[in-house]
Structures are given as C-alpha cells and as structure tokens.
Amino acid sequence: MCAYKYASDASSQIHVILDTNLSNGLSDIYARESGLAYFEPTTVSDYPAVYAGSTDDRANGVCELHIGVTDSVAVTLIAYLSPGTSDYPRGCEVAELTAKTMIENLKGGS
C-alpha cells in the first residue's frame, strides 16, 4: 500500500493498494456486490473497474475504486478527502484521475 498525502492538507489522502486478498481480481468484488453499500461498474483507461464500498461516504469525500489489472490482480484506490482541500468532496474523481496516472506510469508513459 502507498498513501499519498496532499501537500496543502495532510488529512486528505489517496491510498493505492495491491490487494492480495482479491486472488480472483475484480471477480471477488463482483461476488460481494449484494453486501456492498454502492457498486458501479466502469472502466479506467480501458481496464475494467468498479466503484464499490461497504459504506457509502462519497458525499463526504471518501470513495473506493477497484481496477482489474489482470484476471487475478486488482488494485484498489481509496480517496479520503477532507473539506480542507479544493478537491472535496470529489473523491471518486480524484481516485479515477490517480488510477489513470498509475496505469500510464505502469505502461511506461506510452
């Protein structure tokens, strides 16, 4: 896990997690769909993804985004934004932008 803190507001963070508990990638998230507070499939840079979390706190700047980078590997990004940052409460937008940057960097900027 890596945690990135905002320079202007250290309580605002984005966590990037290689979740080894998701041995079946996004399939593990889909299997838990009925027990989640929110579940919204999407794509990020042509990768399958889903906004999903056990607590829906998106209106307060907290958002979980899960991306299937392979059939058996998922990366989870969680944005925790406080009112002290200009990005508040757009946690899902920040998580998606961070995910796009991550994917671009993993591809070598191509």
pLDDT tens readout for residues 42-88: 999 999 999 999 999 999 999 999 999 998 999 999 999 999 899 99
pTM, rounded to two decimals: 0.93
Q: Which two tokens stand for residue 23?
A: 């041995």
Query: How crowded is the C-beta side of 53, counted as CA atoms within 13 Å?
Result: 16
Does residue 108 surpass a pLDDT of 90? no
Q: Which two tokens stand for residue 101?
A: 């940057």
β 38-44/2-5 pair status = unpaired
pLDDT tens readout for residues 18-50: 988 888 999 999 999 999 999 999 999 999 999
* Contact criterion met (CB below 8 Å) for 77 and 92: no
Domain segments of the chain: what residues?
Answer: 2-7+14-86
